[in-house]
């Protein structure tokens, strides 16, 4: 099992419950592909470095998980097409 972190930038134009549903869906994808969620960090609303889809702010979430090496690709393929996800990035974390 490798350690990964999925960063998800969610639209600020949606309601709180819709935003929570987006994060829950990301967590469900991780578990679906054999991952174990270690930690979820909600960084809240932050200003974007540049305008994306006419938005200047968005909500940032960081989901740390353990999974096999094939899981990140599968997860990214699903997150890529999700509505209300502006940007995402899945990276391998260093062993601590």
| pLDDT tens track for 20-38 | 999 999 999 999 999 999 9
| pLDDT tens track for 36-78 | 999 999 999 999 999 998 999 999 999 999 999 999 999 999 9
Where along the chain do its domains lie?
A: 2-92
- One CATH from 3.30.70.60, 3.90.800.10, 3.40.640.10, 3.30.70.1250 for 2-92: 3.30.70.60
pTM of the model: 0.90
d(CA 65, CA 82): 20
pLDDT of residue 94: 83
- Contact 48/12 with Cβ under 8 angstroms? no
Q: Is the pLDDT of residue 96 over 70?
A: no
């Amino acid at each position: 099992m490798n350690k990964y972190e999925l960063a998800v930038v969610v639209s600020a134009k949606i309601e709180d419950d819709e935003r929570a549903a987006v994060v829950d869906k990301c967590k469900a994808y991780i578990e679906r592909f054999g991952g174990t969620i270690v930690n979820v960090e909600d960084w809240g609303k932050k200003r974007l470095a540049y305008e994306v889809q006419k938005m200047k702010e968005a909500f940032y979430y960081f989901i740390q998980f353990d999974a096999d090496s094939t899981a990140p690709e599968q997860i990214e393929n699903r997150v890529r097409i999700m509505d209300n996800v502006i940007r995402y990035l899945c990276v391998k974390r260093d062993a601590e």
